[in-house]
């Protein structure tokens, strides 16, 4: 007998037919003799509707009431799935965040989980009852409902699996696993049987939409084995595990891309100590995150050019902040550019293999793709290129690293 947490996203519970199909899938685990807890999202489109109603009611709304409204979507799904399971003869009940309780901090709209009480859940699961838990929500220090922000249901599921000491956490979604690249762009992309936490974290943070970054971080910190599966097909998925569980480490496991970045170049910046702090300090003060940074070599020792990237959604705000500091910073001009994409090559095997970056640069050069910015980490090399080369770059790199399916 194993203890398993299953999580079903919005598309998996989009209507009653799919909720009933989820109930059948959960029943199979119960019939196999396993203890099961299920975490559910709101039905597809419901959260967006609740957010829209909240904004319509009060554009400058109270964040506590916002959480009370949007958390109701998961409550409906949890109740419906519990009913569908009962209709199949499965002993099941729904749990809301405050009933467990799942304790969070008081940051409404993007709360972080602090503790999960599991004694009652474990007792009932041992008695054969399926716990159907509303994801995305908890209860704050003031006993008000909180929500966990983007990817909150994934985070709820992984946190619950850690607290329950589950054998694994199965994340059911509309894809059947983690691929070496986006199969919608790279036709020869292959599904991976296993991938390390570190690789999955990099893929998620660099644009892969399979799992949310917060849930992967939590899985890695608590060593929760996560399996990514499709709700719509009965095929093996991808296991996200500790590096020790993968015998043969691939040099490169995946190629990710992120279209959500924009580039800013400051021309003729004074080349003196403290200038970088003077530039990036105001951006940080305005909650604008900077990612890739490159500074050109100063020929005369007086001026240089500085290029960096920010989220596309923050570009206009970043330009406004910097323009407001132009007199103080003394740069000659500012050049924003939305027409860029970040391409990342990721793999734990990079730690012990040389030449990964060289192969990346060679493959892109052969396709006539100019590299604008480069950044690296222990298991990742990222480059910024013009957005129109996204598909060409992904396919070229996928082939260059031998990732193409036969």
Instruction: Give me the pLDDT at residue 229, please.
Output: 92
Output the pTM of the full model: 0.85
What pLDDT was estimated at residue 170? 95
Give the H/E segment covering residue 342: strand 340-346
**Which CA distances in Å does 201 have to 34, 133, 186, 215, 296?**
29, 25, 21, 9, 30
Q: Is the dihedral of CA 307, 308, 313, 318 positive or negative?
A: negative
In this predicted structure, what is the pLDDT of residue 22?
96
pLDDT at 25: 95
What secondary structure letter does DSSP report for 191? Answer: B
Please state whether beta strands 303-311 and 261-270 pair in parallel, antiparallel, or not at all (unpaired): antiparallel
Note the pLDDT of residue 378: 87
Q: Mean pLDDT for each consecutive 10-residue tract of the chain (406 residues)?
A: 93 95 96 96 94 92 93 97 98 97 94 95 95 97 93 93 95 89 91 91 78 88 93 89 79 91 92 86 91 81 88 94 87 93 92 87 95 90 95 95 85
* Distance between CA atoms of residues 283 and 272, nearest Å: 19
CB-based contacts of 4: which residues, under 8 Å, 6+ apart?
A: 29, 34, 35, 36, 37, 166, 167, 168, 169, 170
pLDDT of residue 207: 66
Rounded Cα distance, 121 and 94, in Å = 11
């Amino acid at each position: 007998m194993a203890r398993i947490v299953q999580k079903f996203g919005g598309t998996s519970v989009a209507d009653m037919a799919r909720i009933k199909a989820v109930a059948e899938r959960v029943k199979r685990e119960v019939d196999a003799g396993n203890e099961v807890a299920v975490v559910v999202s709101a039905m597809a489109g419901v959260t967006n509707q609740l957010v829209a109603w909240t904004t319509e009611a009060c554009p400058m709304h109270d964040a506590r009431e916002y959480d009370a409204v949007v958390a109701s979507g998961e409550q409906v799904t949890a109740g419906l799935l519990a009913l569908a399971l009962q209709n199949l003869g499965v002993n099941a009940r729904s749990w809301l965040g405050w009933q467990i309780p799942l304790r969070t901090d008081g940051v409404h709209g993007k709360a972080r989980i602090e503790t999960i009480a599991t004694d009652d859940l474990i007792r009932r699961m041992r008695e054969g009852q399926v716990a159907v838990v509303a994801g995305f929500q908890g209860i704050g220090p003031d006993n008000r409902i909180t929500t966990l922000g983007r990817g909150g249901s994934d985070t709820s599921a992984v946190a619950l699996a850690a607290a329950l000491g589950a054998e694994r956490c199965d994340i059911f979604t509309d894809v059947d696993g983690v691929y070496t690249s986006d199969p919608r762009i790279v036709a020869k992309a292959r599904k991976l049987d296993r991938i390390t936490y570190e690789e999955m974290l990099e893929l998620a943070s660099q644009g892969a939409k399979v799992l949310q970054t917060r849930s992967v971080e939590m899985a890695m910190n608590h060593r929760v084995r996560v399996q990514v599966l499709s709700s719509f097909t009965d095929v093996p998925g991808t296991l996200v595990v500790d590096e020790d569980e993968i015998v043969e480490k691939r040099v490169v496991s995946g190629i990710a891309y992120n279209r959500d970045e924009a580039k800013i170049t400051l021309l003729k910046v004074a080349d003196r100590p403290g200038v970088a702090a003077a530039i990036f300090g105001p951006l940080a003060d305005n909650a604008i995150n900077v990612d890739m940074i490159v500074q050109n070599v100063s020929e005369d020792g007086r001026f240089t050019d500085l290029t960096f990237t920010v989220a596309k959604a923050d570009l206009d705000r970043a330009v406004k902040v910097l323009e407001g500091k132009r007199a103080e910073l003394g740069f000659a001009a500012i050049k924003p550019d939305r027409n860029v994409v970040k391409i990342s090559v990721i793999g734990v095997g990079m730690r012990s293999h040389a030449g990964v970056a060289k192969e990346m640069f060679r493959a892109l050069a052969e396709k006539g793709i100019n590299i604008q910015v480069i950044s690296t980490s222990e298991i990742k090399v990222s480059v910024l290129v013009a957005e129109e080369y996204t598909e060409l770059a992904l396919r070229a790199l996928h082939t260059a690293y031998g990732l193409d399916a036969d």
